[in-house]
Chains A and B, each alone.
Chain A
Amino acid sequence: MSYNCIVIVREVWDTRDLTGSVLADNGSIKDSMLTRFEPEDMNALEMALRIKDEHGGKVTAFSVGTPKQVDVLRECLYRGVDEVVRVDAGASSLGTQAAAQLLADAIGKAGQYDLICVGVTVADGESSMLGTHVAGKLGIEQVSYVDAIEEIGEGRVVGKRGIEMGYEYIEAPLPALLSVGVALVEDDPRTPRSAKAMLKLKAKKAEIPSADVDASAVTSPVSIAGREAVPERAVESKDVAAEDETALKSMLDDVLKGE
């Protein structure tokens, strides 16, 4: 049995190795800030591609943004996704819930599907869990914090869901949406696959089709009211001599006051 999978992918701010300030003088995010493929979406993509590797079928990737913002879709093609769809968001950034509405509209028009995978992430400048909103709008079951698919078949999927003290295994009927976490791979550094060279050669100029949805028709209930730089945390520290019992005592008194 083969499956039609959908992945939702995002290009997000690259917050690794941030030095200096993120904000420009006018409070907006600096132009020099880089973006990258959201790593948890990359895990979601890997999950979908593995289903295709094992069971056959098709993987379609969706992303919301301007043509420039959806380089991630090309990255998907390089990794073996069959089709990509850009969902145009118009000029401004939409917010999670409005983006979810557009995605649900676009996915609804794209035909039959069995599974949707998306990163669990709530990224910088995003305020909620995209996958849960999409599932809600499509009226399908969803499981979040899924680290691995245990089983898929007979109209259902079993996801291994990472929770605070361990894992739980949740069975959901297809079609379902999985919000995917980080721990795809445990024993070996098999991070999500890299590009495939031949595919990259072939798909580098592939046209990226747009979904027929109307961004002006959706509104977001949430908006960003402002951004402020957070000062580096400074610690006031005291040296306490190891042999000075009085100093040790007063340190203990200080820290244990509230307890």
Chain B
Amino acid sequence: MPGENFYTENKDLKFLMDEIIDWKAIVDLKEKIGDEECPYDDAEEAKATYLGMLEDPVGDIAAKRFAPRAEEVDTIGCQYKDGEVIFPEGLKRNLQDLMDAQLMGMTIPREYGGLQFPETVYTAAIEVVSQADASLMNFFGLQGGIAETIMEFASDELKQQYLPRMSTGEFTGAMALTEPDAGSDLAAVSAKADIEAEIDPETGMWHINGTKRFITNGCGDVILVLARSEDASRKSGGRGLSFFLVEKGDTVKVRRIENKLGIHGSPTCELYFDNSPAYLIGRRGMGLARYTAWLMLAARLAIGAQAQGIAEAALQESLKYAEEREQFGKPIRQFPQVAAMLANMRVYTEASRALLYATSEIVDLHQGAERRELKEETKAYGKLAEALTPIAKYYSTEIANKICYDAIQIHGGNGFMKDYPVERLYRDVRITNIYEGTSQIQVNWGISRLVRGDLNEYIAGLAEKVTRNPELKAEVDKAAAVLQECLAFLKEKDVGYRELIAPHAVDIFIDVAVGYLFLAQAEKWEYKVEVARKFIHDMAPRVEMNRQYTLDALLVELNP
């Protein structure tokens, strides 16, 4: 019966988890099998545990509890009164359910009360939760990145102080980077840390002053803050920024919450830090380059998964509606254009999912190698993770927007009404390609890595894994050649030109990568041969178009 479990009913996600992810590689790096503390006897058992958890509790509560409350949470939304943020009843219950199910510390190490699950499991969990209620993801899905940042870079005392309570969900987190005048350009951050006052020698505490804007869950308990700690005359821009942990308290004021288009169940706060005591995390001056970058990488994967979940919800709603709704004496899904829209929605939902989980797998391997202190692997996987994450975030969020657009189209006039969930999905999805870096910022990152050749070996590796369906593979190989042609061309171009055509060149890369990923999937599931055939069939003209845009871009400024 549909609507009972959002994990087991999601055949594609389940297939990726069952058949595609190389759990052994991940488990070998991330767990110490044989160690007394390790709860698994082998990788198989670890896998069974991970996937069992996605089914119950994750898939179960998402379908049975979060989804039925989503409409109410959206309609009532978060409210603001006298400096306090008031959650809608449904959201309070959702948070309680997440705590009861002991899911708030999915990736936090067991020694701090967490589950110590790989990013890939967490990504899947975020997708499943977002399918039910995208706004809830901003509690569930950002917790991981924030906790992991503390885990990686904070002192042991801070870890002891905060991680166990983040694992239980008693504490939720926020990341305060954006300011009124520092959005995409975080190097412009101006919140000040202790520039005048001295560091308290007793406690080692810093103090932060300034305003942060658009802070998701800014009313949360553990706030990671990017602030200027260095004298601007000596260290300007990004090099003057450090990373801090501030605990909720009287000095952290929520000045207002935003009245938004979507994700009404997630409060977006304006914060004012009034000499707020703060712990320095890691080293001074490394706030942006190292820690923010690290945090953003984790959060971007999470936002990709959020978009993925919304896309899945929109697809399911559309399939259902197109079956039920009849016009001209038959269900509308039988009309060629509606059928084509539905097929495309499915293909591209699966395409973005393929890239998203291929990326999460790399992120896991990178983290594992880093924890094992394997120098070579850490470097290699790190390079891949940094290049793939922004591209995957860009693709998932843009695709999800398209899918929600089509979902409304399939619903016709009904889709425009609040009576159907697609209306909410359409509003919620719109933030995904803006926050944690807009799509423009993501492809800027992506193109710089592509031109540097960071993903060349990766693509070759994907191609090598394909052993069947030679005609289809030949098509993807052709596109791969086009990609190399474009990258060679771009090597000679300046940054301005590269950023201008970034979406087009990145799209070619995505077509190539997804083409190979689909073909690899097709060797494990017959159904995927058709998916690959459709995707590869449609990508040829797209690749050609993007090639022409890339090689011959025309930028004009029009002033009539």
In the complex they form, whether A and B have CB atoms below 8 Å apart is answered with yes
* Shortest distance from the beta carbon of A204 to any chain B beta carbon, whole Å: 6
Contact yes or no, A16 B1, CB < 8 A: yes
Residues of A contacting B: mostly:
loop
Name the B residues within 8 Å of A16 (CB-CB): 1, 4
Give every chain B residue within 8 A of A202 (Cβ-Cβ).
39
Known contacts A198-B102, A198-B115, A200-B52; decide if A188 and B57 are in contact (CB<8 Å): no
Central interface residue in B49, B57, B115, by most chain A CB within 10 Å: B57
Interface flag for A193 (CB, 8 Å)? yes
Binds A, one of B58-66, B420-428, B490-498, B546-554: B58-66
Using a CB-CB cutoff of 8 Å, which residues 196-218 of chain A contact chain B? 196-202, 204
Could you tell me the distance in whole angstroms from the C-beta of B305 to the nearest C-beta in chain A? 18
Tell me, yes or no, whether A190 is within 8 Å of chain B by CB: yes
Check B101–A17 contact: CB distance below 8 A: no
**A204-B49 in contact (CB<8A):** yes
- The minimal Cβ–Cβ distance linking B124 to chain A, given in whole angstroms, is 14
Q: How far is the CB of B387 from chain A (nearest CB, A)?
A: 32
Docked-complex contact A195 and B1, CB < 8 angstroms:
no
Residues of A within 8 A of B69 (CB): 188-189
Residues B101 and A201 in contact, CB atoms below 8 Å apart: no
Q: State whether the Cβ of A194 lies closer than 8 Å to any Cβ in chain B.
A: yes
Q: Judge whether A191 is part of the interface by a CB distance below 8 angstroms.
A: yes
B60 touches A194 (CB 8 A): yes
Q: Check A195 against B57 for contact (C-beta < 8 Å).
A: yes
Contact A194 to B1, CB < 8 A, known contacts A189-B64, A189-B65, A201-B115? no
Task: Check B522 for interface membership: any CB of A closer than 8 A.
Answer: no
With beta carbons under 8 angstroms apart, the residue of B39, B57, B90, B113 that contacts A194 is B57
- Which residues A165-190 have CB closer than 8 A to chain B? 188-190
Interface string of B265-303 (1 = CB under 8 A from A): 000000000000000000000000000000000000000
Contacts of B61 in A (CB 8 A): 194
Whole-angstrom CA separation of A109 from B186 in the bound complex: 68
Those of B98-126 within 8 Å (CB) of chain A? 100-103, 106, 113, 115
A197 close to B93 (CB less than 8 A): no
Q: Are B102 and A196 closer than 8 Å at their CB atoms? A: yes
Closest chain A residue to B96, Cβ basis: A190
Asked if A201 and B56 sit within 8 Å, CB to CB, the answer is no
Residues of A within 8 Å of B103, CB to CB, are 197
Complex CA–CA separation, A179 to B86 (angstroms): 40
B101 touches A195 (CB 8 A): yes
Q: Give the chain A neighbours of B102 by CB distance below 8 A.
A: 196-199
How far is A62 from B100 in the complex, measured between Cα atoms in Å? 24
Q: Is the CB of B115 within 8 A of A196?
A: no
Q: How far is the CA of A200 from the CA of B103 in the complex (A)?
A: 11
Cα–Cα distance between A237 and B56 once the two chains are bound (Å): 45
Q: Are the CB atoms of B1 and A193 closer together than 8 Å? A: no
Interfacial chain B residues near A17, Cβ < 8 Å: 1
Q: How far is the CB of B8 from chain A (nearest CB, A)?
A: 11
Residues of B within 8 A of A195 (CB): 53, 56-57, 60, 101
Check B68 for interface membership: any CB of A closer than 8 A. yes
Q: How far is the CA of A202 from the CA of B102 in the complex (A)?
A: 12
Most buried by A among B56, B106, B113: B56
| CA gap between A197 and B103 in the complex, in Å | 6
| Bound CA–CA A200/B102 (angstroms) | 10
Give min CB distance, A190 to chain B, whole Å: 7
Bound Cα distance from A78 to B412, whole angstroms: 44
Q: Which residues of A sit under 8 angstroms from B60, Cβ to Cβ?
A: 194-195
> A197–B115 contact, CB under 8 A?
yes
CB distance from B222 to the nearest CB of A (A): 20
Chain A residues contacting B49 (CB-CB under 8 Å) are: 200-201, 204
Cα distance A78–B100 in the bound complex, in angstroms:
12
Closest to B98 in A: A197
Q: Which residues of A contact B93 (CB under 8 A)?
A: 188, 190
Distance (Å) between the CB of B17 and the closest chain A CB?
16
> Which A residues from 1 to 23 make CB contacts under 8 A with B?
16-17
The distance in angstroms between the C-alpha atoms of A16 and B68, with both chains bound, is 20
**Complex CA distance for A196 and B115, rounded to whole angstroms:** 11
Query: How distant is the Cα of A13 from the Cα of B65 in the complex, in angstroms?
Result: 24
Q: Mark B1-19, 1 if CB is under 8 A from A, else 0.
A: 1001000000000000000
Pick the residue among A191, A197, A198, A204 that contacts B65 (CB under 8 A). A191
Find the residue from B64, B90, B113 having the highest chain A CB count within 10 A: B64
Contact yes or no, B1 A190, CB < 8 A = no
A17 to B2 Cα, complex, angstroms: 9
Least CB distance from A192 to B in Å reads 9
B65 neighbours in A (Cβ, 8 Å): 189-191
Q: From known contacts A188-B93, A191-B64, A191-B65, infer whether A197 and B1 are also in contact, taking CB-CB under 8 Å.
A: no
- Which B-chain residue is minimally distant from A188 (CB atoms)? B93
| Chain A residue contacts of B68, Cβ below 8 A | 189
- Name the residue of chain B whose CB is nearest to the CB of A14: B1
- With A16-B1, A188-B69 as known contacts, state yes or no: A193 contacts B100, CB within 8 Å: yes
Cβ of A196 to closest chain B Cβ, rounded Å: 5
Q: How far is the CA of A64 from the CA of B92 in the complex (A)?
A: 38
A201 touching B100 in the complex, CB below 8 Å, given contacts A189-B64, A191-B65: no
C-alpha spacing A202/B37, complex, angstroms? 11
CB closest residue in chain A, given B167: A198
Chain B residue with minimal CB distance to A192? Answer: B64
Shortest A176–chain B CB gap in Å is: 27
Q: How far is the CB of B64 from chain A (nearest CB, A)?
A: 5
Give bound CA distance, A202 to B101, whole Å.
Answer: 14
Contacting residues, chain A, for B115 (C-beta < 8 A): 197-198, 201
Partner of B57, one of A190, A196, A204: A196
Inside 8 A of B52's CB, which chain A residues have their CB? 200, 204
Interface string of B53-92 (1 = CB under 8 A from A): 1001100110011001100000000000000000000100
> Other CB < 8 Å A-B pairs besides A191-B64, A195-B60, A200-B53, 8 of them?
A78-B56, A188-B93, A190-B65, A191-B65, A193-B101, A194-B64, A201-B39, A201-B49
B positions within 8 Å CB-CB of A? 1, 4, 39, 49, 52-53, 56-57, 60-61, 64-65, 68-69, 90, 93, 100-103, 106, 113, 115
6 contacts between A and B (CB under 8 A): A189-B69, A194-B60, A195-B101, A197-B53, A198-B115, A204-B52
Q: Which residue numbers of A lie inside 8 Å of B, CB to CB?
A: 16-17, 78, 188-191, 193-202, 204
Counting from the closest, the 10 A-B pairs by CB-CB distance are A194-B57, A189-B68, A194-B60, A197-B102, A198-B102, A16-B1, A195-B56, A191-B64, A196-B102, A195-B57
